[in-house]
Amino acid sequence: MVFRLNRNTSKGQSQQLWPLFALLMAVVILPTGGVLWFMNQAMQNEQQAVRQRLQEIYRSRLQSSIRHIQSAWREKLALPLQTGAQQNLVAEAFAAMVQNRRTDAVLFYQNGRRIYPEQDDAPRILADFTTPPWLEARNLEYQQNNPQKAADVYEKIARSAGIQESALALMAQARCLTKSGRPQAAAELLIN
């Protein structure tokens, strides 16, 4: 018995194989896609759970550290003070803190207002900005837009003035040095 294949028969069989191939692909791809999706969801859930655990751990450690720091500051600032007038009481507390080397500096406030050391109403600037050197320096800096020459004039003012006026002149000189493209020289001037 000899079988003969007709072209029509082989073509019909190949057309019948495509739905089978598509079904086979669907049977393989859909479950694989589902498994991968579930694995991705599981990993995201696990990451979220780990983040929550870490947040709880760090939150408890942070609260413990806060309590420790607050108790250390309470202990450090707790001073046995004698009764008396308020100003003497504060002065005694200041002296005790400095003598015991508990702090380097202390400001005392009451009702949001500084009570010790006493606060001046307004800081006083002891500089006469109407003198010829100041006028010349300002003219060079602002009108003529020559910050380098202005820096030189401010330097002369700083050398010949008192402490506060000298400090103001040094700040102005640093500003001019920065404007003239020399920020490193301005930083060195202010640091030294």
Model pLDDT, residue 177:
93
- 89-102: buried (b, 16+ CB within 10 Å) or exposed (e) per residue? ebeebbeebeeeee
Residue 126 within a domain: no
**H-type helices in 6-162, by residue range?**
7-77, 86-99, 132-138, 147-160
Residue 31's identity, in one-letter code, is P
Does residue 186 share a domain with residue 141? yes
Range of the domain at 147: 132-191
Determine contact, residues 83/92, Cβ cutoff 8 Å: no
**Is residue 170 classed exposed, middle or buried when 0-12, 13-18 and 19+ CB atoms within 10 A define those classes?**
buried
Q: Is residue 159 situated within a structural domain?
A: yes
User: Which residue from 156, 137, 150 is spatially nearest to 177, judged by alpha carbons?
Assistant: 150
Per-residue pLDDT of the chain (192 residues; tens, 9 = 90+): 555 545 555 555 566 788 888 888 888 888 899 999 999 999 999 999 999 999 999 999 999 999 999 988 777 666 554 444 555 677 777 777 777 776 777 777 777 777 777 766 555 666 678 889 999 999 999 999 999 999 999 999 999 888 888 889 999 999 999 999 999 998 888 887
Closest by CA position to 115, among listed 98, 90, 135: 90
Q: Verify that 172 and 142 share a domain, yes or no.
A: yes
The answer to the question of residue 95 being in a domain is yes
Q: Is position 26 within any domain?
A: yes
- 3 state DSSP class of 115: strand
**Would residue 112 count as lying in a domain?**
yes
How many domains, the chain? 3
> Is 75 among the domain residues?
no
